[in-house]
A and B are shown apart, each in its own frame.
Chain A
C-alpha cells in the first residue's frame, strides 16, 4: 500500500495491534450468566464462571456466530475445523487457573482491513494474522491509596466472550493506528458484533511498536519491539504511540540498542503523565502450557454456513460508502461522513433521501442540521425527535419554494423545540406559501418605491435587484427570495 503521509521523522514507525473485543451476546461464552455491564460485583456468576469444582463449559452458539461474522468482515479465512485450548496461568481474576482460548487452530486467520483517509492523507491495508475466540477474565480492583490492602475480585466479567484480533505490523504512524482502530470499531458496531465501548472495556487495545531507521550505509536499523498496554481510548493509542516512537528514537540514539538483542519489553501508558513506563517482567509467565481443552468438543464450519454468515453480515462500511455515493450521487467525502456515523444514521439518511428524491440535499440537511444537533444534544439518531418523514416534509417544502432554506432552519429548530409537526409549526408561525398574485402585487409595490434600483437594473446591473429582497422580506417574511428576485427582474424588463 502507498502512503502520502508526509513525515519529517528520520524513522518509520512500525505498529501492529492486538485488539480484544467483547461480543454482544446476552450470556457468557460458556455459561448462562448475563453479560450486562455495571451490575453489582459477583451477581452474574455461577459454578462454571466461578471455576467451582466439577463445573463444565458449554459453548454459546451466538458467540461463535458473531465471531465468524467479524472474521468474515475482516476478510479472514474461516477454518473448517477449530478447537479450544487451555492457556494455563495463575491470576485471581482467572478462577480456573486457565483461560479457555485458541492456540494452534484458531477459527479464522489471514485477513485484512483497509483504512482510507477521506482527506487522502493515507490509505493502508492492514493484514490480520488471526482472529480467535476466548473467554474474558474478571476484574481485579486495587485501592492504591490503601497501600497494603487486599485486592478485590469481581468475577461478573469472567467468561464474557472475547474476540482477539491480531494484526500484522503494517501500520506506519500513530495517526494511521488511530484511524484504523476507528474503522475497525465502525465495522464491528455495524455488524452488531460488539458495542466497542472502550469506557466499559468492551474494546481493548495493546500495540507493538518499533522504529525502522535508515542508516547512511543503506542498512535499516530496527529498534527493539515494545508492547504498550493500558491505553483507554483511541486518542490515548495515538498519544502513546507518538510518545513511544520519540522515546525509542532517543533511546536508540543514546544506546544504539537494536531488535533481537533484548527481550520484548512491556510498557504501560500513563495517560495523565503522557508517558509510557516499563512494566515488571515475569520470568515464567510466558510458559502457558497450552493443551487441547478436554471439556469442549471441536467445531466444524462448512461452506454453506459461511455463505449464510455472509448474508447475515450485510454491507460493511467500506462497501456501504461506495454504495451510498453511487446511489445518491453524493461525494465520497459525504458518504464517508454519513457512514462513519453508524448504520442507524445511514438508514435515517436513506429514508429521508428516498422521500425527498434527492441525495445531495438530504445529505446537506443531515450533515449541517441533524448531526450538529445530535452533537450539541449528545444524542444518537435513534432518539432524535425529528423522524425521517418529518424532515423529508420540511425539505420538500423548501424544494417546492414554500420558503427558503434559512426559513426552513427556523422551522427545524421550532419543530425540535416544540415537538410539533412541521405543518403545525408552519401554520403557527404564519408561514403560508405566498400566492402568485400576492407576490406580483408585492413586487409592483417594491418597484414603485425603488426607482434608483429600477434604473440600475435597466442600465444592465441586475445584481442591484438584491436590494429589493431585504425589503420584500420585511413586508412578508414568507416570500421566497429567489422568486422575488426573478419576478422583480421580469417586471422591470417588461416596463
Chain B
C-alpha cells in the first residue's frame, strides 16, 4: 500500500482498521519530503523525530485498544504562521528566525487532540504578505507542476507540499486569497472558511479582521475531514464564532439538484487568460450537468476590492507588526557606537529608537516594509479619513453586494486567478502587478464569507486551472458538498505533477 496514493479519508480509515500503521504512513510521507523538498523548498522545518514519536504513540494506543482521535495517524503540514510549541515559528521572516513560541495555536492544539501527526512547518510569503511565495526570507517555493513557476501564495509551501504528496493535508491561512490562490495554482483543493469559523489564536496576525485559517488537501472530502477537526468556538478568540460545528463529512452526499450558482460578469473582463476562461466555463457546465442552475449576478463593487484590501490589510498589519521591535523577542540589531542615521532623513533620537529602527530595518523583507509603510501612512494624521476610513466604507458596500447576491443564488462561481501559475521573478519587480493577482479572492475576506478553490482543468502547457466557489456566512457544508460533487464527476483533482512523481 502506497500511502501517498491514498486520500486523507482513506489513510485515516486504513490506520483505524490496522491496514496501515501511523508509523508506516508518517515514514512514507517523511521519505517523500526528504526526497523531493530539496527541489521544492515547501518546508521550513521538518520534525522527523517528533512526527515519528507521535505516530509511534498512536500505534501503541491503537494496539492497547485505547480510543483514537478522528485524524489518528494522519500526517499534516502546518503553515509557519501558526504557533507550535515544539517547533520554530518564523513566518518565513528573518525577524523570527529560530523563534519558538511557548504555546500552540488553537488549530495546532485541535490537530494534536485529534491525533494528527504534525510533520513540519511550511514555507510562505513573509508574514503571509504576497501571492507568489517569493517573499519568503528563506527562499521561494517551487510549483511542483513547473519548477520555474511560483506556487502562488502566501500559503505556497502548504499548497506545494500537498500537490507533491509530501503531506496528504496541510493547514493554510487566507487573508486575501492565500489559501485559494496557491491551491488553484498548484491543482489542489483549499477552503477559506467563514471569518471566525476557525480560531485565530496562535495564528501570527497579518490583518486581524481578514485572517482565517483553513484546510488544504487533494479533495473537498479531505478538506471536510480536517475542517471538522479544527473548526469550533474558542473562548480565547473574541472573534471566534459560537455556532455549532456541523459534521461536514456527513453532509457531502446530498445531490446538487436545484442549487443556484451565480456567475459574475466582471470576472470575464480583460486580463482573464483564455485557457482559464475555458476551464471555468467547463466547470459551470459540470455543475449544470449535476443539476445546478447558473445565473448571472452582479457584485458591482468587487472591482474596488483590491484597492480596499490594500488599504485595510496594510493598516492592520502596520499595527500587528509593531510588536517585532527587538525588545522582547525576535531579531535585535547589533548597535555600533554612536547614532548613525538610517538615511539622510532619519536621525535616531536615542539608542533605543536606533535599536527599534535597525532591528526592524534588518528583520523585515521589502514587501513587509512596503505594507508597514503604506499602512502607517494611511493611518497617520491627515490621511486617515481619505484612506482608511474610506476603505471601511467601501468594505461595507462590498459586503452588501454579497448579501444582495446571496438573496438570488446559493453560491457564486468563477476563476480563482486570472492566469495559471506565473514564472518565478515575473512580477517581483512590480509590487502593484503582484497585488492584482488577488483580484478574485480579496472580496471574500472583506465580506467575511467563505470560499473554496479546486482544479477545473489544465492548460495545454500542463498547468492547473482553479475554480472558486464563494458562499454566504457559514455555508461551508454547501461549499464542500458542491466541490465534492464536482470531484465525483471529474478527475482533475486526481492528477499528479509528472516532473516529480
* CB pair A98 B322 closer than 8 Å: yes
Give the dominant DSSP class at B's interface: loop
**Interface digits, B197-214 against A, CB 8 Å rule (1 contact, 0 not)?**
000111111011100000
* CB pair B237 A56 closer than 8 Å: yes
* CB pair B388 A291 closer than 8 Å: yes
* CB pair A289 B96 closer than 8 Å: no
Residue A378 interfacial (CB < 8 Å): no
Residues of chain B contacted by A52 (CB below 8 angstroms): 83, 101-103, 329
**Cα distance A50–B356 in the bound complex, in angstroms:** 17
Residue B325 interfacial (CB < 8 Å): yes
Residue A105 interfacial (CB < 8 Å): no
Q: In the complex where A54-B203, A56-B201, A153-B327 touch, is A90 in contact with B319 (Cβ < 8 A)?
A: no
* CB pair A90 B325 closer than 8 Å: yes
Residues of chain A contacted by B329 (CB below 8 angstroms): 52
* CB pair A53 B101 closer than 8 Å: yes
Residue A464 interfacial (CB < 8 Å): no
* CB pair B319 A98 closer than 8 Å: yes
Interface size on A, residues (CB 8 A): 32
Residues of chain B contacted by A59 (CB below 8 angstroms): 238
**Cα distance A90–B384 in the bound complex, in angstroms:** 20
**Interface digits, A53-77 against B, CB 8 Å rule (1 contact, 0 not)?**
1111111000000000000000000
Residue A51 interfacial (CB < 8 Å): yes
Question: Which B residue sits closest to A280, measured CB to CB?
Answer: B349
* CB pair A51 B208 closer than 8 Å: no
Interface hit among B268-276, B373-381, B475-483, B486-494: B373-381
Residues of chain A contacted by B205 (CB below 8 angstroms): 53-54, 295
Question: Which B residue sits closest to A87, measured CB to CB?
Answer: B319
Residue A405 interfacial (CB < 8 Å): no
**Cα distance A172–B353 in the bound complex, in angstroms:** 40
- A228 vs chain B, min Cβ distance (A): 23
Residues of chain A contacted by B384 (CB below 8 angstroms): 289, 291
Give the dominant DSSP class at A's interface: loop
* CB pair B208 A295 closer than 8 Å: yes
Residue B239 interfacial (CB < 8 Å): yes
- How many inter-chain contacts with C-beta < 8 Å in the A-B complex? 104
Residue A86 interfacial (CB < 8 Å): yes
* CB pair A53 B83 closer than 8 Å: yes
**Cα distance A57–B240 in the bound complex, in angstroms:** 12
Residues of chain B contacted by A291 (CB below 8 angstroms): 315-316, 319, 379, 384, 388
Question: Which B residue sits closest to A296, measured CB to CB?
Answer: B238
* CB pair A54 B323 closer than 8 Å: no
Residues of chain A contacted by B380 (CB below 8 angstroms): 287, 289
* CB pair B200 A56 closer than 8 Å: yes
**Cα distance A287–B378 in the bound complex, in angstroms:** 12
- A87 vs chain B, min Cβ distance (A): 10
* CB pair A287 B322 closer than 8 Å: no
- A101 vs chain B, min Cβ distance (A): 13
Residue A95 interfacial (CB < 8 Å): yes
* CB pair A97 B101 closer than 8 Å: no
Q: In the complex where A295-B208, A297-B239 touch, is A287 in contact with B381 (Cβ < 8 A)?
A: yes
Residue B439 interfacial (CB < 8 Å): no
Residues of chain B contacted by A47 (CB below 8 angstroms): 101-103
Residues of chain A contacted by B202 (CB below 8 angstroms): 54-55
Query: Which of A52, A56, A287 neighbours the largest number of chain B CB atoms within 10 Å of its CB?
Result: A56
* CB pair A92 B238 closer than 8 Å: no
**Cα distance A138–B329 in the bound complex, in angstroms:** 16
Contact of B325 among A50, A53, A97, A151 (CB under 8 A): A97
Residue B82 interfacial (CB < 8 Å): yes
**Cα distance A69–B323 in the bound complex, in angstroms:** 33
* CB pair B322 A88 closer than 8 Å: yes
Residues 361-383 of A contacting B (Cβ, < 8 Å):
none
Question: Which A residue sits closest to B315, measured CB to CB?
Answer: A291
* CB pair B83 A289 closer than 8 Å: no
* CB pair A297 B238 closer than 8 Å: yes
**Cα distance A459–B92 in the bound complex, in angstroms:** 111
- A23 vs chain B, min Cβ distance (A): 19
Question: Which B residue sits closest to A287, measured CB to CB?
Answer: B381
**Cα distance A97–B83 in the bound complex, in angstroms:** 20
**Interface digits, B92-126 against A, CB 8 Å rule (1 contact, 0 not)?**
00001001011101000000000000000000000
**Cα distance A485–B82 in the bound complex, in angstroms:** 91
Question: Which B residue sits closest to A88, measured CB to CB?
Answer: B319
Residue B236 interfacial (CB < 8 Å): yes
Residues of chain A contacted by B376 (CB below 8 angstroms): 289
**Cα distance A49–B376 in the bound complex, in angstroms:** 23
Question: Which A residue sits closest to B388, measured CB to CB?
Answer: A291
* CB pair B237 A95 closer than 8 Å: no
Q: In the complex where A289-B379, A295-B239 touch, is A50 in contact with B328 (Cβ < 8 A)?
A: yes
* CB pair B236 A54 closer than 8 Å: no
**Cα distance A4–B212 in the bound complex, in angstroms:** 64
Residue B34 interfacial (CB < 8 Å): no
Residue B446 interfacial (CB < 8 Å): no
Question: Which A residue sits closest to B81, measured CB to CB?
Answer: A54
Question: Which A residue sits closest to B234, measured CB to CB?
Answer: A56
**Cα distance A59–B201 in the bound complex, in angstroms:** 15
Residues of chain A contacted by B327 (CB below 8 angstroms): 92, 95, 153
For the complex of A and B, the 7 pairs showing the least CB-CB separation, nearest first, are A97-B322, A294-B208, A289-B379, A294-B209, A54-B202, A53-B204, A92-B327
Given contacts A88-B379, A294-B316, A296-B238, 19 further A-B contacts (CB under 8 A): A47-B101, A53-B101, A54-B204, A55-B202, A56-B200, A56-B239, A57-B238, A58-B237, A88-B322, A92-B327, A92-B352, A95-B328, A98-B319, A153-B328, A155-B328, A289-B384, A290-B379, A294-B239, A295-B205
Query: What is B's interface to A at a CB cutoff of 8 Å?
Result: 82-83, 89, 91, 96, 99, 101-103, 105, 200-205, 207-209, 235-239, 315-316, 318-319, 321-323, 325, 327-329, 349, 352-353, 356, 376, 379-381, 384, 388
Cβ contacts A to B, 17 pairs, < 8 Å: A47-B102, A53-B96, A54-B202, A56-B236, A56-B237, A88-B379, A95-B323, A95-B328, A96-B323, A97-B322, A282-B349, A287-B380, A289-B319, A289-B380, A289-B381, A294-B208, A294-B239
